[in-house]
Amino acid sequence: MGFTCREEIAFYSLSTRLQFITMHNIMSPQINRRDFLKISGLALASLAFNPFPPYSDEYNQPTTPLGRITRDISVFRAPTWPDGDTVAYLHRDDIVNLYYELTPVSGPPYNPVWYRVWNGYIHSAYVQKVRINLNTPVDQLPETGQLCEVTVPYTQIYQYSTYTGWSQRARLYYRSTHWAVGVDEGPDRAPWYRLWDELSREQYHVPANAIRLISDAEISPLSPEVPPEQKRLEVSLANQTLTAYENDQVVLFKKISSGLNQRPDPNDIGWHTPPGIYHIQSKYPSKHMGAGDLAGDGSDLPGVPWTCFFLSPPGYAFHGAYWHNNFGLQMSHGCINMDIQDAQWLFRWTTPIFPTPIESRADWYRTGYGTLVNIT
């Protein structure tokens, strides 16, 4: 009982610590070997003095799922809602063991899932279920770029500047998607992937073994034999559900999170999702949403996965969400948030069809008059 929740965070080795939690500095093709060794030595030396929580053998148990906390939350003595006895707190990006899942009668009804964790229970609203899957890097990436996804709870990105050296930017989170455009040597002399950000038009690096390359088969269209006019999406804002139809046959029924009924700025359009009849207009397997400043406070959202715009401008879309797990309740600033696996299915099922193989960077997105969307 002497452990705190933070002490449960897993660190597998010095290498994994560099790659997963404290993260890494990067080797830029623009700096020479002397500068690289100097900066790398300083970086690694500074990391050596960073305190780390004790290693926990529990994280080697493949049967115990892991959860990443996506915002500060309470740990409760019992799974009671809405009022419970708080016994501890968890903070954004803490990684915890999820011992088991339960759905108590107390709810909440829109999302009754709770998890048993060390010291008590947490509601699933701000828990992303994650894994730690390290990958074998490739030596070379296609010139046209390679779609990829993060396969660890999070990894830190770094950029190099001749004025300030290495700077830490935002974190990239589990199952977020990105475009990798190159392979460079990192400070640990291991391969790092160079990623391209389509919004900020910047490049940055992450350790290659934290990234999985996505195959063309995982982007290929679903039900291509069904005529496009026989596919449609029905979204119920009242019930927070999405239903996909082929003719009148239901092929997908899922909870979603639409926009909040709020207007913080009276001069703005507000955060609600507008009802109406639309069509999918454009599709991005990876989209940077937010200000594009790569802020590390969680306000910027690089690598939003499997994005399908249905009203743009101003920019309403279906997409996966790695920052909450509270589907069934309004949560967004207007977009329709989905579980990442469901969003990937929707991306593949809807039209316009995303092109494969990728022949140029112009193929990183697809526009067209696509699947019917009816939001009521």
Of the chain, the percentage scoring pLDDT greater than 90 comes to 68
Q: Above 70 in pLDDT, residue 356?
A: yes
Model confidence band, residue 76 (pLDDT cutoffs 50, 70, 90) = very high
Domain with 68, as residue range(s), is 1-214
Among 64-73, 77-86, 165-174, the range scoring the smallest mean pLDDT is 165-174
Identify the CATH number of the domain in which residue 322 sits. 2.40.440.10
pLDDT value, residue 63: 63
Separation of alpha carbons 280 and 61, rounded Å: 42
Whether 39 and 7 share a structural domain: yes
Whether 73 and 181 share a structural domain: yes
- The pTM of the full predicted model, rounded to 2 decimals, is 0.84
Whether 101 and 206 share a structural domain: yes
Average pLDDT, rounded, for the chain: 84
Whether 308 and 201 share a structural domain: no
Q: Above 80 in pLDDT, residue 338?
A: yes
Model confidence band, residue 28 (pLDDT cutoffs 50, 70, 90) = very low
Whether 192 and 235 share a structural domain: no
Whether 202 and 350 share a structural domain: no
Whether 224 and 345 share a structural domain: yes
Q: Above 90 in pLDDT, residue 33?
A: no
Of 145, 179, 214, which marks where a domain is finished?
Answer: 214
pLDDT value, residue 241: 98
Whether 288 and 274 share a structural domain: yes
Whether 299 and 170 share a structural domain: no
Whether 152 and 260 share a structural domain: no
Of 159, 194, 214, which marks where a domain is finished?
Answer: 214
CB 234 within 8 Å of CB 276:
no
Model confidence band, residue 19 (pLDDT cutoffs 50, 70, 90) = very low
Whether 270 and 255 share a structural domain: yes
pLDDT in tens, 84-94: 899 999 999 99
Among 134-138, 312-316, 350-354, the range scoring the smallest mean pLDDT is 312-316
Q: How many domains does the chain have?
A: 2
Of the chain, the percentage scoring pLDDT greater than 70 comes to 83
Of 180, 199, 214, which marks where a domain is finished?
Answer: 214
Whether 205 and 234 share a structural domain: no
